[in-house]
Amino acid sequence: MSTKTATTPIKETFDSALESARDVMDGIIDQVGHAVDEARPVVEDATGKARDHARTFATEKAAPAVATGAALAAQRAQQMEKKAHALEAAAGTVAAAPKRKRRRKKLMLLALAAVVGGVAAYVVRQQKSERDNWRSAMPEPVPADKAVSDRLAEPTADPADPATPTNSTGPAEPRGPQL
């Protein structure tokens, strides 16, 4: 029973703390609501002023500057075109259209050569792979020392078998390269 009496004051304390926290939160929510209501007209007014200022700047300052730049660029392009025609006439060159035709012909010829080269490379690789099918991917190992391969080729004498020949001539001779 002592646990029941101990939990009751804790529960009452918790409930009162919860109620006071709710009251504080309600007060904060009301304050934030009032601040938003007061700030809304100020923000709307500032947004309208900024929009009007941007429109004024774009129409009064930016548009004339862009138009002036475009006019200068067009004038400079006309001057460069006149200079190009004058230089062309002075050099006695032909019009640019035949150069384009020659350039197209060269590009077409180059593209055709690339295609033919690609087909030829493909055919050569196919023929090479058909001829080389009998080879393995790994080369066969080569013995590093001839003496080692000679020792492997000699029959070994079995001391238990009397029929195998033994080397009774004396001590074994050193094999391999001698210095």
Segment 147-165, tens digit of pLDDT: 555 666 666 655 565 555 5
Residues spanned by the domain of 117: 95-127
Query: What proportion of the chain, given as a percentage, has pLDDT over 90?
Result: 11
Shared domain for 20 and 102, answered yes or no, is no
- Position 84 in a domain: yes
- Position 145 in a domain: no
Average pLDDT, the chain: 76
Query: What proportion of the chain, given as a percentage, has pLDDT over 70?
Result: 63
- Position 158 in a domain: no
Shared domain for 69 and 23, answered yes or no, is yes
DSSP-derived secondary structure for 86-148: HHHHHHTPPPHHHHHHHHHHHHHHHHHHHHHHHHHHHHHHHHHHHHTTTS-SSPPP--S-HHH
Structural domains in the chain (count)? 2
Residue 177 is given by DSSP the state: -
| Full-model pTM | 0.31
- Position 40 in a domain: yes
Segment 12-43, tens digit of pLDDT: 899 999 999 999 999 999 999 999 999 899 88
Name the more confident of 22 and 88.
22
pLDDT at 1: 45
Segment 67-76, tens digit of pLDDT: 888 888 888 8
pLDDT at 19: 92
Shared domain for 51 and 102, answered yes or no, is no
Shared domain for 6 and 57, answered yes or no, is yes
Shared domain for 82 and 21, answered yes or no, is yes
Would you place residue 135 in the very low, low, confident or very high pLDDT band (cuts 50, 70, 90)?
low
Shared domain for 85 and 40, answered yes or no, is yes
Cα separation, 30 vs 18, in Å, equals 18
